[in-house]
Amino acid sequence: MSNNGGQQAVNVTTHLQLYITRLENQEKELTTVRNTYNSLLKTKEAAISKLHTTVTVLEQNYTNLMHDNTVTEANYHKLKLEVEGLKQVKNLDVANESVIDTKIKELSDKMSRLEMSQNLTSMQVHATDQALSTRVGFTACDGYKVSESRIQFQTVKSSHCISMASSYPDGKFIAPKEGCYLVLSNILTKRHIGNYIRKNGNEIARAWFHVTDSNITPYYSAPLSAFIELSVNGVITIEGASLNPSSCLTIVQL
């Protein structure tokens, strides 16, 4: 009996040690996944911050160009008045006609240069205005399923030049403008599943999640991204079988 009892104690200790080892391994795996997810989240936040910085710089450049354009117009009108005044003086002062002609020519040349500068400034203003108004994008989190597989990310974290109500209804991103779009998705799950990016219903990219068999099932994250060219009203969807509400989606026009 004593030997049997001792053997049973050894068996229990062995099983406990194996269980503890499995728990430690699972904890290490979970830590790795969390670190990976945090790294991806920081990368995405850095990209969004860079985009906001670019928009701020464009807005400042736009303001500076508008100021330069106003100054150029003021100088142009001032020179124009001066030329008109010299023409009137020329009609009255025949003796100094050649001097006045030279002065008029110099002022006319300055006006021509100002006109060229004004045209260039107007082109730069237009280009900056286009850059500010044509780029669209958003980041949204708190994903949940709105159909058998389609995922809706309901909490908008940031958006630019886009109406979320019309451009992202029921988990469908409907392109408001023609162009190339970058799709970035971080989805958390604890099931053996795949998630997909679809363009107009056709699969563009997928990511598979693998969870090891254990008594403790951690969440796993698989980054999913795609570069997609869309026509106006082209549709992008994120689809899958299971997700955690902390999953997020970013779509930005390049």
Tokens found for residue 12: 């229990």
pLDDT at residue 90 above 70? no
At 88, is the pLDDT very low, low, confident or very high (cuts 50, 70, 90)?
Answer: low
pLDDT tens sequence across 22-42: 777 777 777 777 777 777 777
CB 239 within 8 A of CB 149: yes
Q: What is the pLDDT of residue 158?
A: 86
Under the banding of pLDDT at 50, 70 and 90, the label for residue 57 is confident
pTM: 0.50
Confidence at residue 237, expressed as pLDDT on a 0 to 100 scale: 93
Closest CA to 55 of 248, 253, 229, 250: 253
Domain 135-253 has CATH 2.40.50.140: no
Contact partners, residue 182, CB within 8 Å, separation at least 6: 225, 226, 227, 228, 250, 251, 252, 254
Give pLDDT tens digits for 61-87.
Answer: 777 777 777 777 777 777 777 767 766
The SS3 of residue 101 is helix
Has residue 201 got a pLDDT over 70?
yes
What pLDDT shows up at residue 229?
Answer: 92
Percent of the chain with pLDDT over 90: 13
Phi/psi for 135 (5° steps) reads -85, 130
What is the pLDDT, as a whole number, of residue 63? Answer: 76
- The candidate with the shortest Cα–Cα distance to 70, out of 121, 129, 116, 133, is 121
Which pLDDT score, from 0 to 100, does residue 78 have?
A: 76
* Residue, of 173 and 222, whose pLDDT is higher: 173
